[in-house]
Amino acid sequence: MRGAYAAGMLDALSSDGWRGAVDVIYGASSGSFLAACFAAGHAGPAAAGFSADLASPAFVDLRRFGRRPVLSLDHLVDHVLGVTRPMPWDALAASRTGVRIVATAVDDLRARTLDDLRTPDDWRSALRASAAIPIFAGPAVEHRGRFWIDGSIGEPLALARAVRDGATHVLVLLSRPVSELRPGTDAGLSWWARALDRARPGLGSLAQGTRRYGADLAMVTDPDHPDRAGARVAAVEPWRGTGMGALTVDPGPVGEAVRVGAESMRAALTGPITG
């Protein structure tokens, strides 16, 4: 649900006429859906859907724990993208903005992009794979003969990947203020997280929270970081929090997070927020 901040950012970027300036967009977890929607010109409906369609027990309900997935990818993929805010798959296929969906392979917990997505079924499968949070969203998703889980487990931000792919100018969208992420600059996992990963692949990494962002955050905050390889990097972070968490279903703070995200993007493009 923290993707609401990035949803607002991408809606502002698109509605203010910047979509054509983006050559490639990378996304993991909720970011994979937002990346696809942005490329398809569907960023506005995606942002509106956070408070209207996703801030609901139909999508997130902790009472289902142990019986059914707490987070329903069926609701997101089949109902929201299929019924209430239908994804324009043809527009996605024709988009000049490339989309790189990041998912984590179960067998080695390494992140990869799921490429050569041509049909709506290909896209739906890849989006599910990128957002398959261990335990909370059900079992790992099979995609083309391999099993995948949430992309943010192996790679919370695809900054290094974008640079390796040849990007010269990178805009990073953060779903938390940098001040909240800074304590996690040590990217190494604790012993208990590694043990949990062996028992249930990806769960230990996920449990480390913001610590997973360490290596990527170092690239964001250090202009002289060697892995930048000369690329120019800018990051947009929420200018304030709204009191919401990853599983918040209260439409109030979720909708406010979308607004904060949009304000943050426009401030980055035009000037600081005052007042």
Q: How confident is the model at residue 209 (pLDDT cuts 50, 70, 90)?
A: low
Answer whether residue 203 shows pLDDT above 80.
Answer: no
Residues 160-187 have a mean pLDDT of: 81
Catalytic center residues: 29, 150
Q: How confident is the model at residue 192 (pLDDT cuts 50, 70, 90)?
A: low
Q: How confident is the model at residue 272 (pLDDT cuts 50, 70, 90)?
A: low
- Mean pLDDT, the chain, as a whole number? 90
pLDDT tens column, 105-135: 999 999 999 999 999 999 999 999 999 998 8
Q: How confident is the model at residue 211 (pLDDT cuts 50, 70, 90)?
A: low
For residues 80-107, one letter each, b for 16 or more C-beta atoms within 10 angstroms of the residue's C-beta and e for the rest, the string is bbeeebebebeebeebebebbbbbbbbe
Residues 195-215 have a mean pLDDT of: 70
Residues 155-168 have a mean pLDDT of: 93
What's the pTM value of the predicted model, to 2 decimals?
0.91
Residues 138-142 have a mean pLDDT of: 95
Residues 85-100 have a mean pLDDT of: 97
Answer whether residue 154 shows pLDDT above 90.
Answer: no
Contact status, residue 46 vs residue 11, Cβ threshold 8 Å = yes
